[in-house]
Amino acid sequence: MSRSVLVTGGNRGIGLAIARSFAEAGDAVTVTHRGGEPPSGLSGVRCDVTDMSSVESAFDEVESTQGPVEVLVANAGITRDTLLLRMGEDEFTDVVDTNLTGAFRVAKRAAKGMLRARRGRVVFISSVVGLLGSPGQVNYAASKAGLVGMARSMARELGSRGITANVVAPGFVESDMTDELSDERREQILAEVPLGRYASADEVARVVRWVASDDAAYVTGAIIPVDGGLGMGH
Ligand code: NDP
């Protein structure tokens, strides 16, 4: 059965792979984008997750074209890496505003329709760094750890209405975000990854699709690592 799927930040990177994966499975998929054109073959809606009125109008548009959102993937995210003593308050709050409060804004709006339908799937894209910590990423790690508490609280609040809320925590994935890392940092990271390589965005997408599927109907409040073993033990 085709479902109404919304992927924030689905215009590129991991979000795009996730969106394409749902579309290939026959779902109606819209991605949010902030500028330019949506990716070919996918519906797009303009949305900035730091702005609740933008989130509201994006959902209104999605609802009018493909119906209430049944699967929400809160994927939009940014980094502003720097060491703690150099990190300005705005570098902290900007990252939290996009990665954590942005996810809250879209999840809250999506929950309205899901509660009415008495079913729904919310998937938050966190990071191995949220549990492991990472030098230079105090802001990012805090935002990604916050998603865990949010998902688990939602799982408890909404579970009786057939809505699941889960966290997918990728490790290092080939993407624009990791292209920015220095060669030295890449080598350090790979030395720590038991599988000895980065993930492809498709490998993350397949896990997201699974946790949003009927096969995962009894999975909620879970953190599902897709990290090649990097975060084991956390
Ligand atoms: P990219 O930088 O390639 O893409 C980020 C996406 O988020 C873009 O679509 C971007 O839109 C969107 N976005 C950023 N800010 C906003 C905003 N305010 N409103 C709406 N959309 C916004 O990142 P990745 O694909 O690598 O990462 C996707 C997610 O996966 C992120 O949450 C990231 O933290 C997480 N992750 C990534 C890992 C990696 O190794 N790459 C590892 C672990 C987690 P635009 O194109 O307009 O900038």
ipTM rounded to 2 decimals: 0.99
- Cβ of 66 less than 6 Å from ligand 1: no
- Choose among 106, 131, 132, 35: nearest CA to 45: 35
Ligand 1, atom 36: nearest CA belongs to which residue? Answer: 127
Atom nearest to 173 CA in ligand 1: 40
User: How many domains in the chain?
Assistant: 1
Terminal alpha carbon distance of the chain: 36
Q: Could you identify the atom of ligand 1 that is nearest to the CA of residue 144?
A: 34
Query: pLDDT grade, residue 176 (50/70/90)?
Result: confident
17 lines ligand 1 (CB under 6 A): no
Indicate whether 4 pLDDT > 80: yes
pLDDT of residue 63: 98
Q: Work out which ligand 1 atom sits closest to the CA atom of 31.
A: 9
Instruction: Write down the catalytic residue from 124, 140, 172, 198.
Output: 140
The alpha carbon of 12 and the centre of ligand 1 are apart by a number of angstroms equal to: 8
Q: Ligand 1 mean position to 219 CA, how many Å?
A: 25
Question: Could you confirm whether 218 is annotated as catalytic?
Answer: no
% pLDDT > 90, the chain? 91
The C-alpha atoms of residue 44 and residue 67 are separated, in whole angstroms, by 14
Does some domain include residue 234? no
Taking the centre of ligand 1 as the mean of its atom positions, its distance from the CA of residue 8, in whole angstroms, is 9
- pLDDT category at 99 given cuts 50, 70, 90 is very high
What are the pLDDT digits (tens) for 63-91? 999 999 999 999 999 999 999 999 999 99
| CA distance linking residue 38 with residue 193, whole number of Å | 34
Question: Is it the case that residue 21 has pLDDT exceeding 90?
Answer: yes
Contact 82, 134 (CB under 8 A): no
C-alpha–C-alpha distance, residues 15 and 202, integer Å = 10
* Residue 175 near residue 186, CB atoms below 8 Å: no
Q: Helix, strand or coil for residue 111?
A: helix
- Geometric angle at alpha carbon 29, from 207 and 16, rounded to 5°: 55
- Measure the CA–CA gap between 173 and 231, rounded to whole angstroms: 14
C-alpha 175 to ligand 1 mean position (Å): 9
Residues in Cβ contact with 50 at an 8 Å cutoff, skipping those fewer than 6 apart: 97, 98, 101, 102
What's the pLDDT band for 179 if we cut at 50, 70, 90? confident
Find all residues with CB under 8 Å of 112, minimum gap 6, and list them. none
Confidence band for 180, pLDDT divided at 50, 70 and 90: confident
- Asked whether 50 lines ligand 1 (CB < 6 A), one says yes
Q: Is residue 229 part of a domain?
A: no
C-alpha dist (Å) from residue 100 to 29, 30, 96, 97, 125: 23, 21, 5, 6, 10
The range of the structural domain enclosing residue 66 comes to 4-223
Q: How confident is the model at residue 177 (pLDDT cuts 50, 70, 90)?
A: confident
Evaluate whether residue 168 is within a structural domain: yes
CATH number at residue 109: 3.40.50.720
| d(C-alpha 189, C-alpha 213), whole Å | 32
Q: Which amino acid does the sequence have at 103?
A: A
Read off the pTM.
0.97
Task: Answer whether 9 contacts ligand 1 (Cβ < 6 A).
Answer: yes
Residue 24 within any structural domain of the chain: yes
Please report where in the chains the tokens 């209430």 appear, as a residue.
68
**DSSP class of 44:** E
Q: In this structure, is residue 146 part of a structural domain?
A: yes
Cα dihedral: 140, 220, 110, 6 (round 10): 70
Domain membership of residue 228 (yes or no) is no
Chain segment 108-137, per-residue pLDDT in tens? 999 999 999 999 999 999 999 999 999 999
- One-letter identity of residue 57: S
Q: For ligand 1, say whether the CB of 54 is within 6 Å of any of its atoms.
A: no
> Is 232 domain-assigned?
no
- Name which residue sits closest to atom 6 of ligand 1, judged by CA: 9
